[in-house]
Chains A and B, each alone.
Chain A
Amino acid sequence: MIRLEDLSVAIDGRPVLQGVSLDLPPGRVTGLVGESGSGKSMTALAITGLLPDRARASGRVLLDSRNLLETPEAAMCRIRGSRIGMIFQEPMTALNPLMTIGDQVAEVLRLHRGLDRRTALAQARERLDRVGLPQPRFPLTLYPHELSGGQRQRVAIAMAIALRPGLLIADEPTTALDVTTQARILDLLSGLARDEGMALLLITHDLAVVAGMTDHVAVMQSGRVVEHGPTEAVFRQRRHPYTRQLFAASRHVPARIPPGPATPLVQVTDAVREYRLPGGGLRALDGVNLTIARGESVGLVGESGCGKSTLARAILGLDTLQGGHIRLDGQDIAAVRPMPRKARARMQVVFQDPFGSFDPRWRVDRLLAEPFHLTGRPPDWRDRVATTLTEVGLDPDDARKFIHQFSGGQRQRLAIARALIIRPALIVLDEAVSALDVRVRAQVLDLLARLQAVHGLSYLFISHDLSVVRGVTDRILVMQAGRIVEEGTPDQIIDAPRHDSTKALVAAMPKIPAGWL
């Protein structure tokens, strides 16, 4: 049993956690929800004693009546991994790339139990079987780069539960995974909590995940727990205004004007793209047909690896097709290599990662003006930068700032501004709101809807998550193994899916039970 009593943490004198109290009894799944910076991860780090060097903690973190905040580091090392297990958000980088998965799981057993390598590996085998990585498909000698994201997260879970800890902390464990993988990992976690009688602390910003997974929930805002209790009661009653805001934002649908008569802007016909791999060819695009009309929002949904991004790259002229045509305003642009600048200037893109898609050494004005190399930089470009900044809800004075001075949501606004500045006809949004908190996401979706109404833009929304594209698209295409397998309005797709792949995507969508709303 772990109990937090009046836990407070300050970094350089600035409070990041204030008076957090929480019970984590065995067998209970507790959700910790809130936005970035609300203190969710800091709570997890305080429990495990892995706070940054400059952090000062007060209050109590009790494990069997022993205060972990006052436990010396050597004793904490014996507790971490054996009594408290932890998994993190990013499975792609959470494992040591130079060590086999067997050795990484065995390391926990060797460290805490003092087992020899052979015995530890035999037990590691058992744990990997438990998390759904059985022999002979997943031998112990595999390296992390030979596994997918979901499989790597399973290895991380195997390490965390190897010694059957009393508490498992999962910090955004599925945020980086696609919905179907997310559903399987969440399933595994709740099964483990039930079977092993572990307490599970699930940290997430996704209310629907909390609704489906947890018994208890604590809502955090600016370092405080503003509301907590049994999940159903908290969700039904929503006593605190912040809880109500989170709910409203997660279900927010921007006001949109349906597009007028359909004039096709982009037409993709019979697109084929094949990659040569050591084990044979891979057809990433296998006869894809797609039309995007002027002013229309089209959603493109499917699991990772289904060909969504390849299709987007082909449309943007970043990749060559081996067959088929892409027409922009009736002109075949796939036939001409490289794609003419005039055509490229008609299409822009916004990517998922608002941190990685900007050069940190450039100022905002230079970043935003970059697409002008396609059209020639107009003499009034500084005014254009200022206008565009205002349009996306930022200040014209932000033009002289650097990218690190902005939050994630602001950076995504800047990415939209960069796409918008040369007045394209189509903007491809490749998981563009997936990394954002619910309230920021709602604001960005509103912004996109407003810009569409003003400029008559077309959008291609690419996502692995149907719930993201539901409220913001006119039409959804479901893609699987390089083909479009189903097409329809959002309501048709979600309420009456026909293809198996669509059904799987809909089933995997985390949902808040209708009765709770």
Chain B
Amino acid sequence: MLRYLSSRILSLGLSLLVASALVFSVVELVPGDPASFMLGTGAQPETVEALRRQMGLDQPLPLRYAAWLGAILQGDLGTSFTYKTPIAGMILERLQVSLPLALMALALAVAIALPVGTFAAARRGKAGDGLVMGAAHVGIALPNFWLAMLLVLVFAVRLRWLPAGGFPGWSAPAAALRSLILPAIALALPQAAILARVLRSALVETMGQDYVRTARAKGLSAGQALRRHALRNALIPVLTILGMQFSFLLAGAIIIENVFYLPGLGRMIFQAITQRDLIVVQSAVLVLVAAVIAVTFLVDLAYGAVDPRLRRP
């Protein structure tokens, strides 16, 4: 296990380093130089020159990368050009919305997909399977903004159970949670549908395996064999999808954030792009990339926990 863990940690560190270099150099690829790009075509040459110095663009590239990386390691992501505030604080504030939202949506997706996928696999080829998987098909096809608007109409406008949008902040935890429920459902349903389908097909495959037949020969009922033997083996492909979904939910919630007026990370990046605030874009992308790499690392660890063949050489 220790060997597995140390090899995963090493690869985590390397990935982060490579990612930081990539994110840093992408900004260098914008036409002209970042300063004139950020200020637009009508800017005064002196203003551009001032911004260049402020951004350190007069320094050589490797030096700038080293300085940037050093600052990041100390928690300094730079200052937003538009808002003149430290970016680290901005991102932290947005993460307070985006992270709980993503986690809620993911938990909900798993909570729905696990029983639904198992149910469909256990009744493979029968009416229940067809019904559930048909519904999942629709769930995947539905655009989530449409689902979001529907939820708002039913639960906020008509029934008035939950707020239609906005975020009161975590100083009022109950209200904050309530305001995240509808967006989390809108995000979770299509993901749950994908997850349920993946789980079903993985389960159907593992249930055809010899060891499930062995389990039946031992006296386990079909349901017991499925839960005790097939399910854990089927979780391996499901974990892969789960990792990808979390990364998507963290930053891909941009449309949902707009529908519900949530001050999330997706909206911040979108605004920063329209305002050509490259420093914010760069830092936010780095944070997202780091999150994706961290989740991949966790998924790798989960593989190791599930599959003994990975733990021991």
CA distance A80 to B213 in the complex (A): 12
Minimum CB distance partner of B229 in chain A: A96
A81–B232 touching, CB < 8 Å: no
Q: Closest CB of chain A to B306's CB: distance in Å?
A: 7
CA distance A77 to B219 in the complex (A): 4
Given A96-B229, A98-B232, A143-B308, the answer on whether A111 and B219 have CB atoms closer than 8 Å is yes
Tell me, yes or no, whether B84 is within 8 Å of chain A by CB.
no
Instruction: Identify which of B211, B216, B312 gathers the most chain A CB atoms within 10 Å of its CB.
Output: B211
B218–A159 touching, CB < 8 Å: yes
B233–A96 touching, CB < 8 Å: yes
Chain B residues within 8 Å of A96, by CB: 211, 214-215, 229, 233
CA distance A79 to B308 in the complex (A): 32
Number of interface residues of A (CB under 8 A): 34
Interface secondary structure of B, over-half rule: helix
Chain A residues within 8 Å of B232, by CB: 98
Instruction: Identify which of B215, B232, B312 gathers the most chain A CB atoms within 10 Å of its CB.
Output: B215
Tell me, yes or no, whether B210 is within 8 Å of chain A by CB.
yes
Chain B contacts with A in 286-307, Cβ cutoff 8 A = 306-307
Given A96-B211, A278-B313, the answer on whether A86 and B233 have CB atoms closer than 8 Å is no
B219–A78 touching, CB < 8 Å: yes
Chain B contacts with A in 202-245, Cβ cutoff 8 A = 209-211, 213-221, 224, 228-229, 232-233
Chain A residues within 8 Å of B209, by CB: 93
Instruction: Identify which of B210, B213, B229, B309 gathers the most chain A CB atoms within 10 Å of its CB.
Output: B210
Chain A residues within 8 Å of B233, by CB: 96-98
Given A78-B219, A98-B233, A108-B219, the answer on whether A143 and B214 have CB atoms closer than 8 Å is no
CA distance A98 to B307 in the complex (A): 6
CA distance A87 to B215 in the complex (A): 11
B308–A98 touching, CB < 8 Å: yes
Chain B residues within 8 Å of A6, by CB: none
Give 1 or 0 for each of A93-121: 1 = CB within 8 Å of chain B CB: 11111111000000110011000000000
B313–A108 touching, CB < 8 Å: no
Minimum CB distance partner of B217 in chain A: A86
Chain B contacts with A in 254-288, Cβ cutoff 8 A = none
Chain A residues within 8 Å of B307, by CB: 97-98
Give 1 or 0 for each of A43-70: 1 = CB within 8 Å of chain B CB: 0000010100000000000000000000
Chain B residues within 8 Å of A218, by CB: none
> Which of B228, B229, B306, B309 is within 8 Å of A143, CB to CB?
B309
Minimum CB distance partner of A155 in chain B: B214
Tell me, yes or no, whether A145 is within 8 Å of chain B by CB.
yes
Q: Closest CB of chain B to A169's CB: distance in Å?
A: 9
B219–A94 touching, CB < 8 Å: no
CA distance A108 to B215 in the complex (A): 9
Chain A residues within 8 Å of B211, by CB: 93-97
A111–B210 touching, CB < 8 Å: no
Given A50-B213, A94-B211, the answer on whether A108 and B308 have CB atoms closer than 8 Å is no
CA distance A108 to B218 in the complex (A): 6
A73–B221 touching, CB < 8 Å: yes
Chain A residues within 8 Å of B221, by CB: 73-74, 77
Tell me, yes or no, whether A90 is within 8 Å of chain B by CB.
yes
Give 1 or 0 for each of B3-43: 1 = CB within 8 Å of chain A CB: 00000000000000000000000000000000000000000
Give A contacts to B, CB under 8 Å.
48, 50, 73-74, 77-82, 85-88, 90, 93-100, 107-108, 111-112, 143, 145-146, 156, 159-160, 278
- Given A88-B214, A94-B214, A160-B217, 9 more contacts at CB 8 Å? A50-B213, A50-B217, A80-B217, A88-B217, A95-B211, A98-B306, A99-B229, A143-B308, A156-B214
Give B contacts to A, CB under 8 Å.
209-211, 213-221, 224, 228-229, 232-233, 306-309, 312-313
Top 4 nearest A-B pairs (CB, nearest first) are A81-B219, A93-B210, A86-B217, A81-B218
